[in-house]
């Protein structure tokens, strides 16, 4: 029995050093040297050094001039230190009331068209950077009007920003909201 404890302690310490420090530090070293952009969180940096966000994370957009991401349950919304969903059940009164309220609000500004479901449901992470192409097209009239652009110009921009399924099969077609909004700002210039 004595030797079991002794071996356990020694084995724990030796392998903890190997797996708990050696391995992650090795991977960090290689990753930072070879893929610094991804290893650093795919941050978007302006020429003056300001970080405006990460390519991979949703950020809040409320102005009519921008496309809006999906609603977020991360912290008080789009909090990248408190990811998560609502965890409300399909049978939850709170959930159905919230979704129906959002639908009615959106429909008032865009009557007659059914609201894409992803635009009124919170994502699992609260940081989902994407919306479906339908959800982007749905917002075109509002954005075009706020920017005094033709709907066609904005619609073309949306079409250019669609990321197809990866390798033609995997996942779903999607649009990165931050990338779309940056392209929109460039278009206006």
> Does residue number 31 form part of the binding site for other proteins (CB under 8 A)?
yes
> Does residue number 145 form part of the binding site for other proteins (CB under 8 A)?
no
> Does residue number 128 form part of the binding site for other proteins (CB under 8 A)?
yes
Site for other proteins in 49-68 (CB under 8 A): 50-57, 59-63, 66
Among 47, 170, 186, 189, binds other proteins (CB under 8 A): 170
- For other proteins, the closer of residues 7 and 150 by Cβ is 7
- For other proteins, the closer of residues 43 and 187 by Cβ is 43
Query: What Cα–Cα distance (Å) separates residue 51 from each residue in 20, 54, 55, 81, 133?
Result: 31, 8, 11, 16, 27
Burial annotation 64-89 (CB, 10 A radius, 16+ → b, else e): eebbbbbbbbbeebbebeebbebeee
In the complex, the smallest distance separating the C-beta of residue 153 from other proteins, rounded to whole angstroms, is 20
Among 126, 140, 161, 180, binds other proteins (CB under 8 A): 126
Question: Strands 43-45, 130-131: parallel, antiparallel or unpaired by DSSP?
Answer: unpaired
Token digits of residue 87: 């965890």
- For other proteins, the closer of residues 78 and 140 by Cβ is 78
Residue window 84-123: x/- pattern of binding to other proteins, with contact defined by CB under 8 A: xxxxxxxxxx-xx--xx--xx--x------xxxxx-xxxx
Distance CA 88, CA 97 (A): 12
Rounded to whole angstroms, the maximal C-alpha distance in the chain is 80
- For other proteins, the closer of residues 44 and 149 by Cβ is 44
Residue 81 backbone dihedrals phi, psi, to 5 degrees:
-115, 10
């Amino acid at each position: 029995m004595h030797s079991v404890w002794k071996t356990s302690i020694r084995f724990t310490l030796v392998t903890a050093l190997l797996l708990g420090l050696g391995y992650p530090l090795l991977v960090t070293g290689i990753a930072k040297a070879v893929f610094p952009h991804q290893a650093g969180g795919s941050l978007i940096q302006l020429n003056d050094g300001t970080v405006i966000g990460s390519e991979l994370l949703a950020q809040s957009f409320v102005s009519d001039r921008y496309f809006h991401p999906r609603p977020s349950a991360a912290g008080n919304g789009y909090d990248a230190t408190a990811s998560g969903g609502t965890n409300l059940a399909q049978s939850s009164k709170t959930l159905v009331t919230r979704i129906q309220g959002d639908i009615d609000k959106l429909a008032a500004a865009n009557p007659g068209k059914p609201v894409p479901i992803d635009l009124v449901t919170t994502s699992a992470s609260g940081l989902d950077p994407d919306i479906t192409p339908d959800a982007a097209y749905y917002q075109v009239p509002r954005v075009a009007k706020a920017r005094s652009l033709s709907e066609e110009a904005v619609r073309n921009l949306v079409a250019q920003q669609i990321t197809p399924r990866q390798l033609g099969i995997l996942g779903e077609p999607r649009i990165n909201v931050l990338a779309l909004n940056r392209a929109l700002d460039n278009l206006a210039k």
